[in-house]
């Protein structure tokens, strides 16, 4: 049953029933028409209450129906118009969530009652579309244009208390929203309904409103870099100001179709479902997310209170997990403690503003220098800097101090998890948890399984990720794992582009116009150039260990760009030193300007090495960088380090600033067409045989030979996940 109806005296209660989130699928819409029609015609019924089963009102339209014929059967807006026109008062009882089409349905009701835990919102923009069942027309009529625009363009989930302040709901109750809605419905029987029909409200326009909307367009262009949905949302809201409700509705519909034609909604909806799929991990043994049990984590510890450690402590505390935070000496402990406490104060303030009590919503943090205090914790996350010997020393200690069933996690961004595990007496309990900086904000968590990591450890780490509000992706153990491994060929191409005549700002601009949050050079400046330099020095690619007579632009027979090394040798580490690929107002400054020093240096460098200059072509910049990423992604799939292309895309969308409206690097390759990607890489590699990273991956060739099947079919061509080192 997609919707049911019962009678509470003279109030009919219609309950949407489509677990798990009561999406408004075709069958639900049919059922709503039937039940609402019968309730309207039933002389015993004087008022109607609409709610959702399982304490969830509705998550909106069934996203899986978009692009299918099912969406064309029974329009949601027709249902909304019928409800709004009802002569009997209709009250929405909002429990849990009323999102997208779910909130649009509630807006068509004459009254809305929410429980205190509920969240409402119009998050369509996050999946590349706009509210298309009257939401862009009714919400501005209810709460005014500025507030409605904020809700629609940001797509955020609004807590009930804020929804009440904004005027989206009429009442918020601590207890049962359904009972309160039934009570309200009884109370308003016989009251006039005209003013409650939002489609009849007029918005008065003035020049300030026009300026406001124009400014919003400019802001959205900058903030959402190439995403079309936010702009369509603004245009739809603009229509609510100038047009009648029905004309506005028509505009909303047109905008929906023009968005669909851009391909962005399909990419964003792919990204939405890929994130959900990432949680459903599988293992080569046949074990899966739903066959293995995670252990509860009641207490945790974090070793190291640098930037990463601090963020991880905050994440755990926000998930209400008490944390023990350890540093190596009193001075560093004091610095770390201060920083963590100040971040915690900010979190507490946010909770207070949302009406929650910080002490019951944040896990306690205890600071210590004593490893002995870790004997009872359920899980430890080591977050010291990237040095194998240091990490091994810590894991030896942890292995002897922690209780036998405690999980030991390493927050390495690419070191060998098996080597770290090998120094413990419990390699099966050791697992990589690669957080992204700042760890309390970034959503991505790469969970790295070692050769001996147990299924329980995998289940526990993946479950912990979810509890921390992260998108956890299970990956195999290889140098740099998935995200950072793919970054190698990408940054290599970016450097070669500089050698061939481009400047950092040109490469960054091309990648930012493509939609990246940050181009490669801005990203390196932010992360710190010294990190990569240290690793290249350790590997003997630069510095004293490079054998005498090695050509400057060659290592082990392959092309090498020493540009970043030379910058580091000049003390240019990026933002932290105030100089890197850009110049900054001061060390630690955030605003980078093109630096004449870099320009001059690049010109001299090209002359010294007699490098042939390429004619400027931004499209070539994007192709070389993006295809280099995807090619490494295909190799990662071949190696079984990621189990499907969707996982790689989730990693890039959530950890590396890839534009979600392009789906991710693997989805992008698929949408460009695998034969074209292959052809471009083949041409490049033929002309540059000393750049092995651009040699087309075997899997890419295989899939291109099959004509480039849809991405969901790639899985069948990928081998079983194995660890390779
Ligand atoms: C001629 C053609 C005319 C066309 C005109 C178009 C007319 C269109 C009319 C109306 C349009 C309305 C627009 C919309 O309503 S779009 C949908 C807007 N809603 C959302 O974006 C909400 C998305 N969902 C979420 O944010 C979360 O899932 C949430 C509801 C908060 C629940 O989170 P959580 O508890 O963490 O659970 P999961 O995310 O894991 O979800 C559980 C399973 O439910 C699936 N799901 C969730 N939402 C939807 C949905 N809206 N449609 C379909 N399926 C949904 C999710 O994938 C999980 O499924 P599974 O377990 O199989 O992975």
Residue 718 is encoded by which pair of tokens?
């990928």
Q: List the beta strands (DSSP E) in 311-364.
A: 323-326
CA of 695 to the centre of ligand 1 (A): 40
Q: How far is the CA of 58 from the centre of ligand 1 (A)?
A: 9
pLDDT band for position 720 (cuts 50, 70, 90):
low
- CA–CA separation, 199 and 359 (whole Å): 44
Question: What pLDDT is stored for residue 715 in this prediction?
Answer: 84
CA of 699 to the centre of ligand 1 (A): 33
The answer, yes or no, to whether residue 428 has pLDDT greater than 60, is yes
Alpha helices in 8-144 (DSSP H): 26-41, 76-85, 101-108, 135-143
Q: What are the tokens at 270? A: 């792919």
pLDDT value of position 523: 96
Neighbours of 68 (CB within 10 A): 10
Backbone angles phi, psi at 92, to 5 degrees: -90, 125
Q: Are strands 444-449 and 430-435 parallel, antiparallel or unpaired?
A: antiparallel
Which residue carries 């030991």 as its tokens? 408
Q: Which of 27, 63, 130, 250 to mutate to test the pocket of ligand 1 (most atoms within 8 A of CB)?
A: 63
- Does residue 135's CB lie within 6 angstroms of at least one atom of ligand 1? no
User: 469 or 284: which carries more pLDDT confidence?
Assistant: 469
pLDDT tens string 30-41? 999 999 999 999
Q: How far is the CA of 144 from the centre of ligand 1 (A)?
A: 26
Among protein residues, the one whose CA lies closest to atom 30 of ligand 1: 59
Domain ranges of the chain: 3-262, 293-475, 501-608
pLDDT at residue 724 greater than cutoff 50: no
As a whole number, the mean pLDDT across the chain is 95
Q: CB under 8 Å to 311, separation ≥6 — which residues?
A: 435, 437, 438, 439, 440, 441
Token pair belonging to 477: 């153990």
Task: Kindly state the average pLDDT of the residues 276-289.
Answer: 92
CATH of 501-608, one of 3.30.2290.10, 3.40.190.10, 2.60.120.40, 1.10.1040.10: 1.10.1040.10
Give the Å distance between the CA of 661 and the centre of ligand 1.
17
Q: Under a CB-based contact definition with an 8 Å cutoff, are residues 2 and 18 in contact?
A: yes
Q: Distances in Å between the alpha carbon of 371 and those of 326, 376, 520?
A: 7, 11, 39
**Sequence-ordered list of residues with C-beta below 8 angstroms from that of 482, at least 6 positions apart, any chain:** 446, 473, 475, 636, 641, 642, 647, 648, 651
Are 402 and 374 in contact by the 8 Å Cβ rule? The answer is: yes
- Write the pLDDT tens digit of every residue in 366-386: 999 999 999 999 999 999 999
* Helix axis angle, 596-608 to 483-499, nearest 10°: 80
Query: Is the Cβ atom of 120 under 6 angstroms away from ligand 1?
Result: no
The rounded radius of gyration (Å) of the Cα atoms in the chain is 28
What pLDDT sits at residue 722?
A: 44
pLDDT tens string 452-487: 999 999 999 999 999 999 999 999 999 999 999 999
Query: Is the distance from the beta carbon of residue 646 to the nearest atom of ligand 1 less than 6 Å?
Result: no
Q: 209-262 pLDDT, tens per residue?
A: 999 999 999 999 999 999 999 999 999 999 999 999 999 999 999 999 999 999
Q: Give yes or no for residue 62 CB within 6 A of ligand 1.
A: yes
pLDDT at 73 (0 to 100): 87
| CATH classification code of 293-475 | 3.40.50.720
**Backbone torsions φ then ψ of 570, nearest 5 degrees:** -90, 10
Least Cα distance to 152 among 128, 135, 133, 127 occurs for: 135
Positive or negative: CA dihedral 346, 347, 352, 353: positive
- pLDDT interval class at 646 (50, 70, 90): very high
Q: Is the CB of 99 under 6 A from ligand 1?
A: yes
Catalytic residues: 104, 124
> How many degrees, rounded to 5, is the angle at CA 117 between CA 111 and CA 122?
60
Which are the contacts of 291, defined by CB distance < 8 A and separation ≥ 6? none
Q: Is 133 in the pocket of ligand 1 (CB under 6 A)?
A: yes
Q: Find out whether 237 and 226 touch, Cβ atoms under 8 Å.
A: no
Q: With a 6 A CB cut-off, is 305 part of the ligand 1 pocket?
A: no
| pLDDT given for residue 360 in this prediction | 87
Q: Which residue has the tokens 């049953």?
A: 1
What CA–CA distance (Å, rounded) separates 262 from 249?
A: 21
Which of 16, 19, 21, 123 most suits a substitution to test ligand 1, by most atoms within 8 Å of the C-beta?
21
Please enumerate in sequence order all residues whose Cβ is within 8 A of that of 453, keeping only pairs 6 or more positions apart, or say none: 417, 421, 427, 428, 430, 431
Mean pLDDT for the stretch of residues 547-576: 96
CATH architecture classification, 3-262: Alpha-Beta Complex (3.90)
Spatial separation of the C-alpha atoms in residues 80 and 86, rounded to whole Å: 10
pLDDT > 50? residue 725? no
Residue bearing the CA closest to ligand 1, atom 6: 132
Q: Are 630 and 674 a contacting pair, CB within 8 Å?
A: no
Looking at residues 313-327, what average pLDDT do you find? 98
When pLDDT is averaged across residues 285-295 and rounded to a whole number, the result is: 94
Atom in ligand 1 nearest the alpha carbon of residue 99? 19
CB 172 within 8 A of CB 115: yes
Q: What's the pLDDT band for 188 if we cut at 50, 70, 90?
A: very high
Ligand 1: residue whose CA is nearest its atom 3: 72
232 CB less than 6 Å from ligand 1? no
Burial of residue 353, with CB atoms counted within 10 A of its CB: 0-12 exposed, 13-18 middle, 19 or more buried: exposed
State the number of CA atoms in the 13 A half-sphere of 603 facing the CB. 6
Whether residue 63 has its Cβ less than 6 Å from ligand 1:
yes
* pLDDT exceeds cutoff 90 at 325: yes
**Percentage of residues in the chain having pLDDT higher than 90:** 92
Ligand 1 centroid to Cα of residue 25, in Å, is 10
Q: What is the pLDDT of residue 290?
A: 95
Mean pLDDT of 565-585: 97
Q: Is the pLDDT of residue 637 over 50?
A: yes
């Amino acid at each position: 049953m997609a919707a049911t109806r019962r009678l509470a005296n003279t109030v009919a209660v219609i309950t949407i029933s489509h677990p798990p989130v009561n999406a408004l699928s075709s069958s639900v819409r049919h059922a709503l028409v039937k039940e609402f029609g019968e309730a309207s015609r039933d002389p015993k019924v004087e008022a109607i209450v609409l709610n959702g089963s399982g304490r969830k009102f509705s998550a909106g339209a069934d996203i899986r129906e978009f692009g299918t014929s099912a969406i064309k059967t029974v329009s949601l807006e027709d249902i909304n118009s019928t409800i709004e026109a009802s002569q009997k008062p209709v009250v929405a009882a909002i429990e849990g969530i009323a999102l997208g089409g779910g909130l649009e349905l509630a807006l068509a009701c004459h009254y809305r009652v929410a429980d205190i835990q509920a969240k409402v919102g119009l998050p369509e923009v996050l999946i590349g579309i706009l509210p298309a069942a009257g939401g862009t027309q009714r919400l501005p009529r209810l709460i005014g244009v500025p507030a409605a625009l904020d809700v629609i363009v940001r797509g955020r989930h609004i807590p009930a208390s804020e929804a009440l302040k904004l005027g989206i709901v009429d009442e918020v109750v601590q207890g049962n929203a359904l009972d309160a809605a039934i009570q309200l419905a009884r109370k308003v029987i016989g009251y006039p309904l005209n003013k409650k029909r939002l489609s009849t409200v007029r918005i008065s326009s003035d020049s300030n409103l026009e300026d406001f909307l124009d400014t919003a367009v400019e802001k959205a262009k900058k903030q959402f870099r190439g995403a079309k949905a936010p702009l369509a949302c603004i245009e739809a809201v603009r229509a609510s100001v100038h047009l009648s409700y029905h004309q506005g509705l028509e505009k909303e519909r047109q905008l929906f179709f023009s968005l669909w034609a851009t391909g962005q909604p399909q990419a964003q909806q792919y990204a939405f479902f890929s994130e959900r799929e990432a949680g459903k991990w599988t293992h080569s043994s046949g074990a899966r997310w739903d066959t293995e049990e995670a252990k509860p984590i009641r207490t945790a510890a974090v070793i190291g209170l640098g930037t990463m450690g601090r963020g991880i402590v905050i994440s755990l505390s926000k998930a209400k997990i008490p944390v023990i935070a350890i540093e190596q000496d009193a001075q560093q402990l004091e610095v770390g403690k201060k920083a963590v406490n100040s971040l915690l104060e900010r979190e507490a303030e946010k909770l207070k503003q949302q009406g929650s009590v910080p002490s019951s919503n944040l896990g306690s943090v205890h600071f210590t220098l004593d490893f002995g205090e870790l004997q009872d914790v359920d899980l430890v996350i080591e977050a010291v800097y990237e040095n194998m010997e240091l990490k091994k020393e810590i894991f030896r200690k942890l292995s002897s101090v922690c209780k036998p069933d405690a999980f030991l996690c390493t927050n390495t961004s690419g070191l060998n998890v098996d080597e770290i595990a090998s120094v413990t007496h419990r390699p099966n309990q050791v697992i990589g948890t690669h957080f992204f900086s700042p760890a309390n904000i970034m959503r991505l968590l790469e969970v790295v399984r070692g050769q001996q990591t147990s299924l329980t450890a995998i289940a526990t780490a993946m479950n912990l990720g979810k509890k921390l509000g992260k998108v956890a992706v299970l990956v195999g153990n290889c140098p740099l794992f998935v995200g950072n491994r793919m970054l190698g060929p990408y940054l290599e191409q970016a450097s070669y582009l500089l050698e061939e005549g481009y400047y950092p700002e040109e490469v960054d601009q091309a990648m930012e116009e493509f939609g990246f949050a940050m181009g490669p050079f801005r990203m390196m400046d932010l992360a710190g150039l010294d990190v990569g330099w240290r690793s290249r020095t350790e590997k003997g690619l630069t510095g004293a260990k490079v054998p005498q007579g090695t050509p400057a632009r060659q290592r082990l027979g392959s092309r090498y760009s020493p540009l970043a090394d030379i910058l580091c040798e000049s003390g240019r580490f990026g933002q932290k030193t105030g100089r890197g690929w850009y110049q900054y107002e001061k060390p630690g400054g955030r605003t980078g300007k093109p630096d004449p020093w870099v320009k001059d240096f690049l010109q001299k460098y090209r002359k010294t090495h007699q490098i042939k200059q390429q004619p400027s072509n931004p499209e070539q910049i994007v192709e070389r960088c993006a295809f280099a990423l995807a090619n490494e992604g295909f190799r990662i799939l071949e190696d079984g380090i990621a189990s499907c292309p969707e996982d790689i895309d989730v990693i890039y969308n959530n950890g590396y600033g890839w534009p979600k409206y392009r789906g991710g690097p693997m989805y992008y390759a698929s949408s460009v067409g695998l034969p074209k990607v292959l052809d471009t890489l083949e041409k490049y590699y033929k002309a540059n045989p000393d750049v092995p990273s651009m040699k087309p991956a075997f899997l890419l060739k295989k899939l291109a030979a099959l004509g480039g099947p849809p991405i969901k079919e790639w899985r069948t061509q990928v081998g079983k996940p194995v660890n390779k080192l």
